[in-house]
Amino acid sequence: MKRLPAEQRALRPTRVRLVYVRELKARMFTRGYLVSLALLSLVTFGLVIGFNLIGRSTSATVAVCGTPAASLGTAPPGVRVTSCDDMAEAQKLVEDKDADAAVVVAGAHASLLVRADTGDQARAGAAALAETWAGNQALLRQKVDLGRLARDTAAAAPTTVTVGDSVGTLQLGAAASLIIILFMQVVNQGSVIAQGVVEEKSTRVVEVLLATLTPLELLVGKVSGIVTAGMVQVAAMLGAVMGAQSTISEQTIAMPAPRALVATVLWFLLTFAMFASLYAAAGSLASRPEDLQGVLTPVMLLALAPVGAATAAAAHLSASWVSVVQYIPPFSGLLIPLKASVGTATVQEQLAAAAILLVVTACCMTLAGRIYRNSVLRVGAPIRWRQALAA
Amino acid sequence: MKPLGLEGVSKRFGSRQALDALTFTVRPGEIFGFVGGNGAGKTTAMRIGVGVLAPDRGHVLWGEVPVGRLESARFGYMPEERGLYPKMTVARQLVYLGELHGLSRADAREAMLRWTERLRITQHRDKRVDTLSLGNQQRVQLAAALVHDPELLILDEPFSGLDPLAVDDMSAVLRDKAAQGVPVLFSSHQLELVEQLCDRVGIVRAGRLAACGTLEELRSADTSAQVYVEVEGAGEDWPSGCAAAAGFRTHQQGVLVDLAAGCTENDLLREAVRHGTVRQLRRQVPTLAELFRDLVEPAGDPPPTDRTGTGTPAAGKARITDRDEVAA
């Protein structure tokens, strides 16, 4: 194929900025976008708080009176221990459902207060607390120094040794869901990009634009505008999650460390750049929105494959296939940050994978620019990938 | 102002040769009409002229320099397929396009105000384009081509779909621009308009320039120019025996005669008087539409070589139509 004059490939920042700003305004200053942004943030905020409240109400509350709550040792799992003054208050707390059960110690005798609807967890918890008290009383009667007993027991406690290099699923949880959410965003925003390109093509405005812009300028400005609008949405959602967390803020959830977060975002942007160009190229092949689905399918599969791979790999990050696949784009864009977030990717691994991804992204963008240039002015039946590349 | 020249421009789409060494020039201050059948290559030529497409071979020159992005930003272009952002308001759209062409925001705004006024769409400035009627969208499209005060206008079918008032407005704008020295290239199927408006006409057939020149030049080059003769008292087929007539057909009250090679009106007259009283004899001045039909018919058919066989509605005698050499 004939080489284009240098200026055809040049990017003039002012033109790209104009395209970018227009795209951003066209996307973001619409009622639909603002409403959905507000709704999305509110719903996310509400969901996080709601789940938290539901989660909290499943823990049982047991009131203890007549003996300090601390003297009963650590609370049984799922049970929150509060203290109260006497039998009357304990009875009131349980009746008013401020507590699910109560342990009342009077003299050498302990009684359990429950309601008919007290859950098994609360009953078991209260019984365990009462048993601990009874055991302590028995030990005291036998002149045992409870403090020393506790210290000696602690000194003899077993230590836990983790063997093998597998990664706990709990540790992965937050990182994996964040990364997978970001990648689902690739698919979402990718379709928006493709639609935007088809829209310009079907309204034929592209010809007016190409009289002053190079296809690459149009492509870059447009894609970055749409990506920005999409990222604002993601940021609003993350903001809502963090905001909700901080209002509840009893314990912070296991968010990935800031460094891992930055790495994840960088990896994401790089992979996104690759897919955005492919989606734009796919969009330029169709002339009408209804033809879009057909040309998008291959790209969509390519974008979803890493999510599938990451889901499969999450349980076995140290599997041997992962150590090979992690270098292959687009899988690397998901697997490497996943490994990095749990600290099992070495710097060398990360750099090597980043270099490969960078090269592949550059190739994809060049290729997409060519497909876009060749097909953006053609109308009619969808163009085949091979035709667009060859022309 | 500088002329626009296409020099030996060729373009191929797959197996179809859209343009084949097309060469012509639009001079400063000149309105150049571009006519041709559907698929003749007009749109491709204009797209290449404005830099939307790159030619496979040949050059586009603006003055002395090849046209690049820097140059084509100074052009005003109206594509055949009208295209604007449907959800943007007229004002925003025009300002945006002005800025893309290198105007500052303030200048673009000022130009938008000026052109919406000139094209009588002031009341639509704040409306979205998709709410406008087709004719008004067309006016916006023209404004989009003019908003940056271009030094060259390339308009693909600017008159299609316009009502007579809009045609007048559009014509007036083109004349104004040409009067300012701007070279104006436009294509149209409305040949009467082209005839009225254009200083020069280029007729394209199968990606090549079949003819180019002023209307007068085209007419004089039309060697098949026919002679209209009314002979009172003669039968309808009186020219059949004349040596000076290569072919003929009835037309109005008389006949249209194709002169045989080497014969003039005098030779025909000499024979005509023998059949009756000659009431009228004049050279038939072809309209652009007739020239066009002659040149382009049989429209869309394969290359010049097989054209002799395809009959014309004229006489049984073959007509001389191979006039590619006429091209400037």
Q: Are residues A171 and A145 in the same domain?
A: no
* Of the residues A149, A175, A207, the one at which a domain ends: A149
CA distance B17 to B205: 12
Helix (H, G, I), strand (E, B) or coil at B211: strand
Residue of A212, A288, A379, A387 to mutate when probing chain B, most B C-beta within 10 A: A212
**In terms of pLDDT, which residue wins out, B239 or A184?**
B239
Residue of A21, A205, A387 to mutate when probing chain B, most B C-beta within 10 A: A205
CA-only gyration radius of chain A, Å: 30
The CA-to-CA distance between both ends of chain A, in Å, stands at 8
Query: What confidence tier does A255 reach under pLDDT thresholds 50, 70, 90?
Result: low
Kindly state whether residue A5 falls inside one of the protein's structural domains. Answer: no
pLDDT for res A124: 85
pLDDT for res B327: 32
CA distance B228 to B281: 6
Check: CB of residue B303 under 8 Å from CB of residue B206.
Answer: yes
Closest CA–CA distance from residue A207 to any residue of chain B (Å) = 7
Q: Are residues A118 and A222 in the same domain?
A: no
Q: Are residues A106 and A20 in the same domain?
A: no
* Cis before A330 (ω within 30): yes
Closest CB to B53 among A5, A214, A377: A377
What is the enclosing helix (H) or strand (E) of B171? helix B164-179
Kindly state whether residue A159 falls inside one of the protein's structural domains. Answer: no
Check: CB of residue A204 under 8 Å from CB of residue A289.
Answer: no
Check: CB of residue B268 under 8 Å from CB of residue B244.
Answer: yes
Give the rounded percent of residues in chain A with a pLDDT score beyond 90: 2
Closest CA–CA distance from residue A271 to any residue of chain B (Å) = 30
Contacts of B81 in chain A (CB under 8 A): 204, 207, 379
Which whole-number Å values give the CA distances from B208 to A94, B19, B184, in the listed order?
A: 98, 6, 20
Question: Would you say residue A74 has pLDDT above 80?
Answer: no
Kindly state whether residue A2 falls inside one of the protein's structural domains. Answer: no
Q: Are residues A49 and A87 in the same domain?
A: no
pLDDT for res A283: 87
3-class SS string, chain A: CCCCCHHHHCCCHHHHHHHHHHHHHHHHCCHHHHHHHHHHHHHHHHHHHHHHHHHHHCCEEEEEECCCHHHHCCCCCCEEEEECCCHHHHHHHHHCCCCCEEEEEECCEEEEEECCCCCHHHHHHHHHHHHHHHHHHHHHHCCCCHHHHHHHHHHCCCCCCCCCCCCCHHHHHHHHHHHHHHHHHHHHHHHHHHHHHHHHHHCCHHHHHHCCCCHHHHHHHHHHHHHHHHHHHHHHHHHHHHHHHHHHCCCCCCCCCHHHHHHHHHHHHHHHHHHHHHHHHHHHHCCCHHHHHHHHHHHHHHHHHHHHHHHHHHCCCCCHHHHHHCCCCCCHHHHHHHHHHCCCCCHHHHHHHHHHHHHHHHHHHHHHHHHHHHHCCCCCCCCCHHHHHHC
Closest residue of B to A203, CA-based? B83
Q: Are residues A371 and A325 in the same domain?
A: yes
Which whole-number Å values give the CA distances from A159 to A74, A150, A162, A347, in the listed order?
A: 19, 17, 10, 31
Q: What is the mean pLDDT of chain A?
A: 80
Enter the DSSP assignment of B80. Answer: S
Helix (H, G, I), strand (E, B) or coil at B221: helix
Kindly state whether residue A154 falls inside one of the protein's structural domains. Answer: no
Closest CB to B144 among A26, A204, A208: A208
Q: Region A207-234: what's the mean pLDDT?
A: 85
Taken in order B46, B60, A13, A226, is the CA torsion positive or negative?
positive
The per-residue pLDDT string of chain B (328 residues; one tens digit each, 9 = 90 and over) reads: 889 999 999 998 878 888 999 999 999 999 999 998 888 889 999 989 988 888 999 999 998 888 887 788 889 999 887 788 888 999 999 999 999 998 999 999 999 999 999 999 999 999 999 899 888 998 999 999 999 999 999 999 999 888 888 899 999 999 999 999 999 999 998 888 888 899 999 989 888 888 888 888 877 766 566 788 898 888 888 888 888 888 888 888 888 888 888 888 888 888 888 888 999 888 877 777 777 777 766 444 444 433 333 333 433 333 333 333 333 3
Kindly state whether residue A73 falls inside one of the protein's structural domains. Answer: yes
Q: Region A141-147: what's the mean pLDDT?
A: 85
Which whole-number Å values give the CA distances from A354 to A251, A357, B1, in the listed order?
A: 35, 5, 52
Closest CA–CA distance from residue A280 to any residue of chain B (Å) = 18
Question: Would you say residue A340 has pLDDT above 60?
Answer: yes
Check: CB of residue A124 under 8 Å from CB of residue A62.
Answer: no
Q: Which two tokens stand for residue B96?
A: 């945006």
CA distance B259 to B245: 5
Question: Would you say residue A377 has pLDDT above 80?
Answer: no
Kindly state whether residue A155 falls inside one of the protein's structural domains. Answer: no
Number of Cβ pairs closer than 8 Å across A and B? 66
CA distance B24 to B187: 14
**In terms of pLDDT, which residue wins out, A127 or A178?**
A127
Report the side by side order of strands in the sheet with A79-83: A79-83, A60-65, A101-106, A109-114
Residues of A engaging B, defined by a Cβ cutoff of 8 Å: 2, 4-5, 7-8, 10, 12, 15, 18-19, 22, 26, 203-214, 377, 379, 391
| Structure confidence by residue, pLDDT tens digits, A347-362 | 888 889 889 988 998 8
Q: Are residues A45 and A99 in the same domain?
A: no
Task: Supply the CATH number for residue A108's domain.
Answer: 3.40.190
Q: Are residues A342 and A199 in the same domain?
A: yes
Q: Region A71-94: what's the mean pLDDT?
A: 80
Check: CB of residue A42 under 8 Å from CB of residue A24.
Answer: no
Enter the DSSP assignment of B322. Answer: -
Query: What confidence tier does A56 reach under pLDDT thresholds 50, 70, 90?
Result: low
**In terms of pLDDT, which residue wins out, B146 or A117?**
B146
Check: CB of residue A100 under 8 Å from CB of residue A82.
Answer: no
* Of the residues A122, A149, A176, the one at which a domain ends: A149
Closest CB to A207 among B52, B56, B100: B52
pLDDT for res B32: 94
Q: Are residues A352 and A281 in the same domain?
A: yes
Q: Domain range for residue A175?
A: 11-55+167-390
CA distance A14 to A378: 27
Q: Are residues A26 and A90 in the same domain?
A: no
Helix (H, G, I), strand (E, B) or coil at B190: coil
* ipTM (interface pTM): 0.72
**In terms of pLDDT, which residue wins out, A344 or A298?**
A298
Q: Are residues A51 and A65 in the same domain?
A: no
Kindly state whether residue A3 falls inside one of the protein's structural domains. Answer: no
Q: Considering only CA atoms, which of B257, B237, B255 is closest in space to residue B247?
A: B257
Query: Tokens 């699923």 sit at which residue?
Result: A169
Enter the DSSP assignment of B307. Answer: G
* Total of domains in chain A: 2
* Of the residues A149, A180, A198, the one at which a domain ends: A149
Closest CA–CA distance from residue B267 to any residue of chain A (Å) = 56
pLDDT for res A100: 85
Q: Are residues A116 and A142 in the same domain?
A: yes
Q: Report the relative pairing of strands A101-106 and B65-66 from DSSP bridges.
A: unpaired
Kindly state whether residue A130 falls inside one of the protein's structural domains. Answer: yes
Q: Are residues A137 and A177 in the same domain?
A: no
Phi, psi of B250 (to 5 degrees): -75, 145
Closest residue of B to A387, CA-based? B14
